[in-house]
Structure 1
Amino acid sequence: MKTLGLFRHAKSDWNDARLRDFDRPLNERGRTGAGLMGLHIRHYGVRWKRIIASPAVRVTQTIELAARAAGQMPPLNWDRRIYLASSPTLADLLREQDSDPASILMVGHNPGLEDLIFDLVPDDGSSPLRDEVEEKFPTAAFAVLELEIDAWSQLSDNCGRLKHLMRPRDLDAKLGPQIED
Protein backbone atom coordinates (compact mmCIF):
# COMPACT_ATOMS: atom_id res chain seq x y z
CA MET A 1 0.00 0.00 0.00
CA LYS A 2 1.29 3.48 -0.93
CA THR A 3 -0.12 6.89 -0.04
CA LEU A 4 -0.20 9.71 -2.58
CA GLY A 5 -1.02 13.28 -1.65
CA LEU A 6 -1.88 15.82 -4.35
CA PHE A 7 -1.75 19.53 -3.50
CA ARG A 8 -2.64 22.09 -6.14
CA HIS A 9 -0.99 25.51 -5.95
CA ALA A 10 -3.03 28.31 -4.42
CA LYS A 11 -4.81 31.06 -6.37
CA SER A 12 -2.43 33.02 -8.57
CA ASP A 13 -2.31 36.61 -9.70
CA TRP A 14 -3.18 37.39 -13.33
CA ASN A 15 -2.74 41.17 -13.09
CA ASP A 16 0.69 41.48 -14.73
CA ALA A 17 0.27 40.44 -18.37
CA ARG A 18 4.03 40.80 -18.92
CA LEU A 19 4.81 37.78 -16.73
CA ARG A 20 5.27 34.34 -18.22
CA ASP A 21 2.79 31.79 -16.86
CA PHE A 22 5.64 30.06 -15.01
CA ASP A 23 6.44 33.31 -13.14
CA ARG A 24 2.96 34.23 -11.91
CA PRO A 25 2.88 34.78 -8.12
CA LEU A 26 0.02 34.15 -5.70
CA ASN A 27 -2.62 36.78 -5.12
CA GLU A 28 -3.82 37.77 -1.65
CA ARG A 29 -6.55 35.13 -1.55
CA GLY A 30 -3.99 32.53 -2.63
CA ARG A 31 -1.58 33.51 0.13
CA THR A 32 -4.35 33.13 2.71
CA GLY A 33 -5.46 29.80 1.27
CA ALA A 34 -1.93 28.40 1.13
CA GLY A 35 -1.37 29.04 4.82
CA LEU A 36 -4.71 27.59 5.81
CA MET A 37 -4.13 24.47 3.75
CA GLY A 38 -0.62 24.06 5.17
CA LEU A 39 -2.12 23.82 8.65
CA HIS A 40 -4.70 21.33 7.42
CA ILE A 41 -2.10 19.14 5.70
CA ARG A 42 0.01 19.07 8.85
CA HIS A 43 -2.97 18.14 11.02
CA TYR A 44 -4.13 15.50 8.56
CA GLY A 45 -1.28 13.45 9.97
CA VAL A 46 0.56 11.77 7.10
CA ARG A 47 4.33 12.06 7.40
CA TRP A 48 5.33 12.61 3.79
CA LYS A 49 8.47 10.63 3.02
CA ARG A 50 9.05 12.52 -0.21
CA ILE A 51 7.69 15.75 -1.62
CA ILE A 52 8.03 16.49 -5.32
CA ALA A 53 6.94 19.82 -6.72
CA SER A 54 6.82 22.01 -9.76
CA PRO A 55 9.30 24.90 -9.55
CA ALA A 56 6.77 27.43 -10.91
CA VAL A 57 6.61 30.58 -8.76
CA ARG A 58 3.02 30.02 -7.64
CA VAL A 59 3.92 26.51 -6.44
CA THR A 60 7.07 27.60 -4.61
CA GLN A 61 5.12 30.37 -2.87
CA THR A 62 2.30 27.96 -1.98
CA ILE A 63 4.77 25.55 -0.38
CA GLU A 64 6.65 28.32 1.44
CA LEU A 65 3.45 29.76 2.96
CA ALA A 66 1.96 26.35 3.76
CA ALA A 67 5.19 25.22 5.44
CA ARG A 68 5.49 28.45 7.41
CA ALA A 69 1.92 28.11 8.68
CA ALA A 70 2.53 24.46 9.58
CA GLY A 71 5.77 25.35 11.36
CA GLN A 72 7.91 22.95 9.35
CA MET A 73 9.76 23.01 6.05
CA PRO A 74 9.96 19.55 4.55
CA PRO A 75 12.76 18.48 2.21
CA LEU A 76 11.66 19.06 -1.37
CA ASN A 77 12.55 17.66 -4.75
CA TRP A 78 11.84 20.18 -7.52
CA ASP A 79 10.97 18.67 -10.88
CA ARG A 80 10.17 20.89 -13.84
CA ARG A 81 8.33 18.02 -15.53
CA ILE A 82 5.44 18.61 -13.10
CA TYR A 83 4.87 22.11 -14.51
CA LEU A 84 1.64 21.86 -16.55
CA ALA A 85 2.16 18.09 -16.93
CA SER A 86 -0.51 15.70 -18.13
CA SER A 87 -1.71 12.82 -15.99
CA PRO A 88 0.41 10.27 -17.93
CA THR A 89 3.53 12.37 -17.36
CA LEU A 90 2.78 12.67 -13.63
CA ALA A 91 2.18 8.92 -13.42
CA ASP A 92 5.48 8.24 -15.18
CA LEU A 93 7.27 10.54 -12.76
CA LEU A 94 5.75 8.64 -9.81
CA ARG A 95 6.76 5.29 -11.33
CA GLU A 96 10.37 6.55 -11.48
CA GLN A 97 10.62 7.17 -7.73
CA ASP A 98 13.48 5.19 -6.26
CA SER A 99 13.73 3.65 -2.78
CA ASP A 100 9.94 3.22 -2.76
CA PRO A 101 8.90 5.73 -0.09
CA ALA A 102 5.63 4.83 1.63
CA SER A 103 4.15 8.26 0.93
CA ILE A 104 4.67 10.98 -1.65
CA LEU A 105 3.15 14.46 -1.74
CA MET A 106 3.07 15.98 -5.23
CA VAL A 107 2.52 19.73 -5.53
CA GLY A 108 1.59 21.10 -8.91
CA HIS A 109 -1.04 22.19 -11.38
CA ASN A 110 -4.31 21.39 -13.06
CA PRO A 111 -5.52 19.79 -15.19
CA GLY A 112 -2.80 17.19 -14.57
CA LEU A 113 -3.45 16.64 -10.86
CA GLU A 114 -7.21 16.38 -11.34
CA ASP A 115 -6.81 14.02 -14.28
CA LEU A 116 -4.41 11.87 -12.25
CA ILE A 117 -7.17 11.39 -9.68
CA PHE A 118 -9.57 10.36 -12.45
CA ASP A 119 -7.04 7.88 -13.84
CA LEU A 120 -6.12 6.33 -10.48
CA VAL A 121 -9.57 6.19 -8.85
CA PRO A 122 -12.18 4.01 -10.59
CA ASP A 123 -15.32 5.72 -11.84
CA ASP A 124 -17.59 3.04 -10.41
CA GLY A 125 -19.89 5.18 -8.27
CA SER A 126 -18.24 4.10 -5.02
CA SER A 127 -16.42 7.38 -4.33
CA PRO A 128 -18.45 10.48 -3.45
CA LEU A 129 -15.14 12.36 -3.14
CA ARG A 130 -14.29 11.53 -6.76
CA ASP A 131 -17.65 13.02 -7.71
CA GLU A 132 -16.64 16.23 -5.89
CA VAL A 133 -13.36 16.33 -7.83
CA GLU A 134 -15.38 15.99 -11.04
CA GLU A 135 -17.15 19.22 -10.09
CA LYS A 136 -13.81 20.96 -9.51
CA PHE A 137 -10.35 20.47 -8.03
CA PRO A 138 -9.81 24.15 -7.23
CA THR A 139 -6.67 26.01 -6.37
CA ALA A 140 -5.07 24.90 -3.08
CA ALA A 141 -7.13 21.69 -3.02
CA PHE A 142 -5.54 18.73 -1.22
CA ALA A 143 -6.39 15.09 -1.93
CA VAL A 144 -5.07 11.85 -0.44
CA LEU A 145 -5.20 8.55 -2.30
CA GLU A 146 -4.43 5.06 -1.02
CA LEU A 147 -2.88 3.00 -3.78
CA GLU A 148 -3.10 -0.80 -3.93
CA ILE A 149 0.53 -1.19 -4.98
CA ASP A 150 3.70 -2.37 -3.26
CA ALA A 151 6.10 -0.30 -5.38
CA TRP A 152 5.67 2.99 -7.24
CA SER A 153 6.74 1.24 -10.44
CA GLN A 154 3.42 -0.70 -10.24
CA LEU A 155 1.28 2.45 -10.48
CA SER A 156 -1.59 1.84 -12.91
CA ASP A 157 -5.05 3.09 -13.74
CA ASN A 158 -7.77 2.31 -11.19
CA CYS A 159 -5.33 1.21 -8.46
CA GLY A 160 -6.43 3.80 -5.92
CA ARG A 161 -9.09 4.97 -3.50
CA LEU A 162 -9.65 8.66 -2.82
CA LYS A 163 -9.58 8.84 0.98
CA HIS A 164 -9.58 12.58 1.62
CA LEU A 165 -10.38 15.84 -0.14
CA MET A 166 -10.10 19.29 1.37
CA ARG A 167 -10.45 22.69 -0.31
CA PRO A 168 -9.80 26.12 1.18
CA ARG A 169 -13.52 26.91 1.04
CA ASP A 170 -14.21 23.85 3.23
CA LEU A 171 -12.13 25.49 5.97
CA ASP A 172 -13.13 29.12 5.38
CA ALA A 173 -16.19 30.03 3.30
CA LYS A 174 -14.58 33.37 2.36
CA LEU A 175 -12.09 31.40 0.27
CA GLY A 176 -14.84 29.84 -1.83
CA PRO A 177 -16.08 30.91 -5.24
CA GLN A 178 -16.63 34.64 -5.51
CA ILE A 179 -20.28 35.54 -5.98
CA GLU A 180 -20.93 38.56 -8.15
CA ASP A 181 -23.50 41.08 -6.87
Structure 2
Amino acid sequence: MKRLILMRHAKSDWSGATSDHDRPLNARGRANATALGDWLRARMIAPDTVLCSTATRAAETLKGLALGPDTDLQFTRDLYLADPETILATLRGASGDTVVIIGHNPGIGTMAGMIVEPSDDGGITDYPTGATLVATFNAEDWADVKWRMGTMDQFVVPRDLPAPQQ
Protein backbone atom coordinates (compact mmCIF):
# COMPACT_ATOMS: atom_id res chain seq x y z
CA MET A 1 0.00 0.00 0.00
CA LYS A 2 1.29 3.47 -0.95
CA ARG A 3 0.11 6.86 0.30
CA LEU A 4 0.42 10.14 -1.62
CA ILE A 5 0.05 13.61 -0.14
CA LEU A 6 -0.45 16.02 -3.01
CA MET A 7 -0.04 19.62 -1.79
CA ARG A 8 -0.21 22.95 -3.55
CA HIS A 9 2.20 25.48 -2.06
CA ALA A 10 0.74 27.90 0.48
CA LYS A 11 -0.24 31.52 -0.27
CA SER A 12 2.55 33.51 -1.91
CA ASP A 13 3.53 37.15 -1.56
CA TRP A 14 2.83 39.20 -4.67
CA SER A 15 4.04 42.52 -3.23
CA GLY A 16 7.73 42.20 -4.13
CA ALA A 17 9.31 42.59 -7.52
CA THR A 18 10.85 39.14 -7.78
CA SER A 19 10.73 36.48 -10.45
CA ASP A 20 7.89 33.97 -10.27
CA HIS A 21 10.30 31.22 -9.23
CA ASP A 22 11.69 33.32 -6.37
CA ARG A 23 8.35 34.54 -4.95
CA PRO A 24 8.14 33.79 -1.19
CA LEU A 25 5.13 33.02 0.99
CA ASN A 26 3.21 35.83 2.63
CA ALA A 27 2.37 35.81 6.37
CA ARG A 28 -0.88 33.92 5.79
CA GLY A 29 0.97 31.36 3.66
CA ARG A 30 3.55 30.74 6.40
CA ALA A 31 0.76 30.28 8.98
CA ASN A 32 -1.12 27.95 6.62
CA ALA A 33 1.99 25.81 6.01
CA THR A 34 2.40 25.42 9.78
CA ALA A 35 -1.30 24.52 10.14
CA LEU A 36 -0.98 21.90 7.38
CA GLY A 37 2.00 20.35 9.19
CA ASP A 38 -0.04 20.26 12.41
CA TRP A 39 -2.91 18.65 10.48
CA LEU A 40 -0.64 15.92 9.10
CA ARG A 41 0.82 15.19 12.56
CA ALA A 42 -2.66 15.08 14.16
CA ARG A 43 -3.53 12.32 11.67
CA MET A 44 -0.19 10.58 12.24
CA ILE A 45 0.72 10.99 8.58
CA ALA A 46 4.50 10.97 8.45
CA PRO A 47 6.00 11.01 4.97
CA ASP A 48 9.11 9.03 4.08
CA THR A 49 9.89 11.19 1.06
CA VAL A 50 9.15 14.74 -0.07
CA LEU A 51 9.35 15.72 -3.73
CA CYS A 52 9.30 19.51 -3.82
CA SER A 53 9.45 22.15 -6.52
CA THR A 54 12.54 24.34 -6.32
CA ALA A 55 10.39 27.50 -6.23
CA THR A 56 10.86 29.55 -3.07
CA ARG A 57 7.17 29.40 -2.13
CA ALA A 58 7.19 25.58 -2.36
CA ALA A 59 10.40 25.28 -0.30
CA GLU A 60 8.97 27.65 2.33
CA THR A 61 5.77 25.58 2.44
CA LEU A 62 7.89 22.49 3.09
CA LYS A 63 9.81 24.30 5.84
CA GLY A 64 6.52 25.30 7.52
CA LEU A 65 5.35 21.68 7.60
CA ALA A 66 8.19 20.95 10.04
CA LEU A 67 8.50 17.30 9.02
CA GLY A 68 10.70 14.90 10.94
CA PRO A 69 14.46 14.70 10.45
CA ASP A 70 14.24 11.24 8.88
CA THR A 71 12.24 12.49 5.89
CA ASP A 72 14.07 12.22 2.55
CA LEU A 73 13.82 15.69 0.97
CA GLN A 74 14.23 15.96 -2.79
CA PHE A 75 13.99 19.29 -4.59
CA THR A 76 13.44 19.15 -8.34
CA ARG A 77 13.02 21.90 -10.90
CA ASP A 78 10.87 19.42 -12.87
CA LEU A 79 7.98 20.12 -10.44
CA TYR A 80 8.07 23.90 -11.02
CA LEU A 81 4.84 24.66 -12.92
CA ALA A 82 4.74 21.00 -14.02
CA ASP A 83 1.87 19.41 -15.89
CA PRO A 84 0.16 16.28 -14.47
CA GLU A 85 2.15 13.89 -16.69
CA THR A 86 5.45 15.31 -15.41
CA ILE A 87 4.26 15.12 -11.80
CA LEU A 88 3.18 11.49 -12.29
CA ALA A 89 6.52 10.63 -13.91
CA THR A 90 8.33 12.19 -10.92
CA LEU A 91 6.13 10.22 -8.49
CA ARG A 92 6.84 6.98 -10.34
CA GLY A 93 10.54 7.38 -9.48
CA ALA A 94 9.89 7.93 -5.77
CA SER A 95 10.86 5.69 -2.89
CA GLY A 96 9.16 5.24 0.44
CA ASP A 97 5.61 4.27 1.29
CA THR A 98 4.30 7.79 2.00
CA VAL A 99 5.29 10.55 -0.42
CA VAL A 100 4.50 14.27 -0.32
CA ILE A 101 4.60 16.25 -3.55
CA ILE A 102 4.59 20.05 -3.21
CA GLY A 103 3.89 21.83 -6.45
CA HIS A 104 1.88 24.44 -8.34
CA ASN A 105 -1.38 24.94 -10.14
CA PRO A 106 -2.71 24.21 -12.61
CA GLY A 107 -0.74 20.94 -12.76
CA ILE A 108 -1.03 19.86 -9.12
CA GLY A 109 -4.80 20.50 -8.99
CA THR A 110 -5.39 18.75 -12.29
CA MET A 111 -3.35 15.78 -11.12
CA ALA A 112 -5.37 15.58 -7.90
CA GLY A 113 -8.52 15.17 -9.96
CA MET A 114 -6.93 12.61 -12.30
CA ILE A 115 -5.05 10.37 -9.84
CA VAL A 116 -8.04 9.26 -7.73
CA GLU A 117 -11.14 7.29 -8.61
CA PRO A 118 -14.07 9.53 -9.58
CA SER A 119 -16.45 10.28 -6.73
CA ASP A 120 -20.21 10.75 -6.64
CA ASP A 121 -19.85 14.34 -5.40
CA GLY A 122 -18.09 15.56 -8.55
CA GLY A 123 -14.58 15.13 -7.19
CA ILE A 124 -11.99 17.83 -6.77
CA THR A 125 -12.96 20.92 -8.73
CA ASP A 126 -10.96 23.60 -6.89
CA TYR A 127 -7.37 23.42 -5.62
CA PRO A 128 -6.57 26.70 -3.84
CA THR A 129 -3.20 27.47 -2.27
CA GLY A 130 -2.39 24.95 0.43
CA ALA A 131 -4.97 22.42 -0.80
CA THR A 132 -3.88 18.95 0.25
CA LEU A 133 -5.10 15.57 -0.99
CA VAL A 134 -4.23 12.36 0.82
CA ALA A 135 -4.75 9.29 -1.37
CA THR A 136 -3.86 5.62 -1.07
CA PHE A 137 -2.87 3.20 -3.80
CA ASN A 138 -3.01 -0.57 -3.83
CA ALA A 139 0.46 -0.82 -5.37
CA GLU A 140 3.78 -2.38 -4.44
CA ASP A 141 5.84 0.29 -6.17
CA TRP A 142 5.25 3.90 -7.24
CA ALA A 143 6.26 2.86 -10.76
CA ASP A 144 2.97 0.90 -10.93
CA VAL A 145 0.70 3.88 -10.18
CA LYS A 146 -1.69 4.91 -12.94
CA TRP A 147 -4.43 7.51 -13.40
CA ARG A 148 -7.64 6.88 -11.43
CA MET A 149 -5.88 4.22 -9.36
CA GLY A 150 -5.92 6.13 -6.06
CA THR A 151 -8.57 6.30 -3.40
CA MET A 152 -9.11 9.70 -1.82
CA ASP A 153 -8.75 9.38 1.94
CA GLN A 154 -8.77 13.05 2.91
CA PHE A 155 -8.85 16.49 1.36
CA VAL A 156 -8.28 19.76 3.19
CA VAL A 157 -7.77 23.43 2.45
CA PRO A 158 -6.13 25.78 4.96
CA ARG A 159 -9.28 27.86 5.55
CA ASP A 160 -10.84 24.73 7.12
CA LEU A 161 -8.00 24.33 9.65
CA PRO A 162 -7.58 25.95 13.05
CA ALA A 163 -4.82 28.52 13.38
CA PRO A 164 -1.50 26.93 14.36
CA GLN A 165 -0.60 26.81 18.05
CA GLN A 166 2.13 29.23 19.07
TM-score, normalised by the number of residues in structure 2: 0.89
**Distance in 2 between the 1:87 and 1:34 partners?**
23
What are the superposed Cα offsets for residues 143-168 of structure 1, whole Å, 9 maximum, x if unpaired?
Answer: 10011222111111111111101111
What are the superposed Cα offsets for residues 48-77 of structure 1, whole Å, 9 maximum, x if unpaired?
Answer: 11111111100111111221xx6x453311
**Residue number in structure 2 paired with 1:87:** 84
**Distance in 1 between the 2:115 and 2:150 partners?**
5
Matches within 5 A, 1:73-84: 73=69, 74-84=71-81
1:159 equivalenced with 2:154 (yes/no): no
Contact 1:13-1:24 at 8 Å conserved across structures = yes
Contact 1:149-1:159 at 8 Å conserved across structures = no
C-alpha change, 1:118 and 1:37, in structure 2 (3 Å) is: same
**Distance in 2 between the 1:39 and 1:84 partners?**
26
Equivalent AA in structure 2 for residue 90 of structure 1: I
Which runs of 5 or more residues in structure 1 are unaligned?
Answer: 174-181
Aligned length: 162
**Residue number in structure 2 paired with 1:64:** 63
1:39 equivalenced with 2:29 (yes/no): no
C-alpha change, 1:124 and 1:172, in structure 2 (3 Å) is: closer
Which runs of 5 or more residues in structure 2 are unaligned?
Answer: none
TM-score, normalised by the number of residues in structure 1: 0.82
Equivalent AA in structure 2 for residue 3 of structure 1: R
RMSD of aligned alpha carbons: 1.8
**Residue number in structure 2 paired with 1:8:** 8
C-alpha change, 1:3 and 1:14, in structure 2 (3 Å) is: same
Give the fraction of aligned pairs with identical amino acids, expressed as a percent: 33
**Distance in 1 between the 2:119 and 2:46 partners?**
30
**Distance in 2 between the 1:51 and 1:146 partners?**
16
Q: Give 3-state SS (helix, strand or coil) of 1:20's partner.
A: coil
Higher helix fraction (1 or 2):
1
Contact 2:40-2:46 at 8 Å conserved across structures = no
Matches within 5 A, 1:99-178: 100-125=95-120, 128=121, 131=123, 133-134=124-125, 136-172=126-162
**Residue number in structure 2 paired with 1:53:** 52
Equivalent AA in structure 2 for residue 167 of structure 1: V
1:124 positional shift: 4.8
Larger Rg: 1
